């Protein structure tokens, strides 16, 4: 067992996605190396340390009888990707989960991304939107606050024209229109062909934004299909 100040414990707990109420009290915490066995395989490290985004940290700590493991370390052990959304302070393990908001910051729905051989499938559910068709796109970067204009233009890594009906198109970020019913709800499942969740890929969509527009996308007019204002969106975690 090693003695550490509360400030040091706070730092250790932060990398595991936890928080700790600060006080002037000293605590007892163990950073002793643990063994990990996953489905019959020995996954124990040599030194008990974990590379957390370029920073070497303990791969586990024990505090008052409870063992804490960094989220990224746990996901690595389980062979699952992990994604972080700084906007919502949320962790996704396995598949990115995107929380969707309107311009006032109210939560209106969510989307889930599933990778496959041909690309990435998006499954989306929303509510509290105006009935009718709405343009729906992937934009090139994450937005700030709930100012969807800061998401930049459509994600277009091949520098094509806009629209599925455009002979020179389309952007990779051009998705199909989102149909909203009379009850203000809508659901969509769509394969984004050629898209990737691999952060090193030119076609990676992680860290970008899903944006819903006020009007339907006409499928041909540059740069956004005459689809009007950006009324809702969500950041794709990375």
**pLDDT for 51-72, tens place per residue?**
887 889 899 989 988 999 988 8
Higher pLDDT, 64 or 116: 116
Q: Are residues 98 and 129 in the same domain?
A: yes
Residues 226, 173 share a domain: yes
Domain boundary among 80, 101, 120: 80
Q: Collect all residues with Cβ–Cβ distance below 8 Å to 4 and sequence separation of at least 6.
A: 12, 26, 27, 29
* Cα separation, 123 vs 69, whole angstroms: 30
Rounded-to-integer distance, Cα 128 and Cα 182, Å: 10
Catalytic residues: 137, 139, 154, 162, 171, 174, 213, 230
pLDDT tens track for 182-234 = 999 999 999 999 999 999 999 999 999 999 999 999 998 888 889 999 999 99
> The whole model's pTM is what?
0.79
Which pLDDT does position 169 carry in this prediction? 77
pLDDT of residue 166: 85
The answer on 156 and 42 residing in a single domain is: no
pLDDT digits (tens, 9 = 90+) for 127-152: 999 999 999 999 999 999 899 999 99
Structural domain including 56 reads 2-80
Instruction: With respect to residue 144, please indicate whether it lies within any of the assigned structural domains.
Output: yes
Residues 110, 200, single domain; the answer is yes
Do 123 and 194 lie in one domain? The reply is yes
Spatial separation of the C-alpha atoms in residues 42 and 38, rounded to whole Å = 7
> How many Cβ atoms from other residues are within 10 Å of residue 171's Cβ?
27
């Amino acid at each position: 067992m090693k003695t550490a100040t509360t400030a040091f414990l706070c730092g250790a707990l932060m990398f595991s996605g936890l928080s700790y109420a600060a006080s002037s009290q000293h605590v007892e915490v163990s950073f002793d190396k643990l063994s990990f066995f996953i489905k019959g395989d020995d996954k124990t490290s040599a030194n008990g340390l974990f590379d957390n985004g370029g920073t070497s940290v303990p791969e586990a700590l024990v505090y008052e009888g409870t063992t804490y493991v960094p989220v990224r370390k746990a996901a690595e052990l389980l062979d699952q990707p992990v994604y972080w959304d700084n906007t919502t302070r949320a962790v996704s393990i396995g598949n990115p989960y995107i929380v969707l908001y309107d311009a006032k910051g109210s939560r209106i729905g969510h989307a889930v991304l599933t990778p496959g051989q041909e690309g990435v499938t998006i499954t989306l559910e929303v509510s509290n939107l105006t009935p009718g068709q709405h343009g729906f796109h992937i934009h090139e970067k994450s937005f700030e606050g709930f100012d969807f204009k800061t998401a930049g233009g459509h994600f277009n890594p091949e520098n094509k024209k806009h629209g599925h009906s455009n002979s020179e198109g389309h952007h990779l970020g051009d998705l199909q229109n989102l149909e909203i019913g009379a009850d203000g709800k809508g659901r969509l499942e769509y394969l984004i062909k050629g898209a990737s969740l691999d952060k090193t890929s030119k076609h990676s969509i992680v860290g970008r934004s899903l944006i819903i527009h006020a009007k339907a996308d006409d499928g041909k007019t540059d740069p956004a299909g005459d689809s009007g204002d950006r009324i809702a969106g969500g950041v794709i975690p990375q």
